[in-house]
Amino acid sequence: MAITLRSRREIELMRKAGSVVGNVHRKLKEMAQPGISTGELDRVAARMAKEAGSVALFKGVRSPHASVPFPGAICASVNDEVVHGIPSDKTILEEGDVLSVDYGIELNGYCGDSARTLAIGKVSDGDRHLMDVTEEVLEIAIAECRPGILWSQVAAKMEQRAKEAGLGVVRDFVGHGIGTQLHEDPRVPNYVSRELLNNDIMLAEGLVLAIEPMLNAGTASVKTLSNGWTVVTADKRSSAHFEHTVAMTGSGCEVLTLPD
């Protein structure tokens, strides 16, 4: 495992990249209403990346499981789609949907990555609970992160809150280091496992992580659709996804993917 600690200069560059991501999320939240397509949201995200002088990182990514590169600037995952939902003009958002938007860009050689789940109109009480707890789990991680503690201590509190709420913690996809590449060491799980305990991460000043809990209303089990990209819950119940890029500082941590 090759973990890179970033200088203050690098973190400031990542903050600039992160603000582009935050601005896009703010705009898409305004737009995400019943009747709009995820394809339209994708075009806005792609245009805003270009206008900011940045590169949308997801478009063109290849996977050994898919025959075509990922076609969107955003991942737009609706209802039981956990992650890697493909934006499309055929996917029209409806009242009561939950939409998870994941978005990453590179600006001046440094990356930003963030996700949030949006309510389309009025959602069910169960889906609101799912969204609120998933966002809370991310906030718990951010509050706990600081130099000198082990990631397993943070992950344990994240997992505990999710399980108390009766939600499934997705294990197939986890957070990650981020810097000059979108995905860097270390892997950052949202749960405690033997693998994590055997390869635990001591948080240190300059470490930058993309922390991204994905919780399901029912089972934690997921499967990938035939397009090779879109991951869905095994029981077809809803999923939620929240993520921020976070830098460890001398006294705690800073969220880098906030809007201007």
Q: Which domains does the chain have, with CATH numbers?
A: 8-255 (3.90.230.10)
State residue 84's pLDDT score.
Answer: 98
**Count of C-beta atoms within a 10 Å radius of residue 109:** 11
State residue 77's pLDDT score.
Answer: 98
Strands (DSSP E) contained in the chain are: 55-56, 74-78, 81-83, 98-107, 110-119, 168-169, 175-177, 184-188, 208-211, 214-216, 222-224, 231-233, 239-241, 244-248, 253-255
Give the phi and the psi of residue 153 in degrees, each rounded to 5: -65, -40
State residue 251's pLDDT score.
Answer: 84
**Count of C-beta atoms within a 10 Å radius of residue 23:** 16
Q: Which two tokens stand for residue 97?
A: 């949907």
Q: Let me know: does 214 contact 240? Beta carbons within 8 Å.
A: yes
Largest CA distance in the chain: 48
Q: How far apart are CA 216 and CA 172, in angstroms?
A: 12
Q: How far apart are CA 121 and CA 10, in angstroms?
A: 39
Residue (of 166, 260, 153, 151) closest to 211 by Cα position: 151
pLDDT tens-place values along the chain, 260 residues long: 799 999 999 999 999 999 999 999 999 999 999 999 999 999 999 999 999 999 999 999 999 989 999 999 999 999 999 999 999 999 999 999 999 999 999 999 999 999 999 999 999 999 999 999 999 999 999 999 999 999 999 999 999 999 999 999 999 999 999 999 999 999 999 999 999 999 999 999 999 999 999 999 999 999 999 999 999 999 999 999 999 999 999 989 999 999 99
Q: Measured between alpha carbons, how far is residue 121 from residues 31, 85, 199 in Å?
A: 11, 20, 43
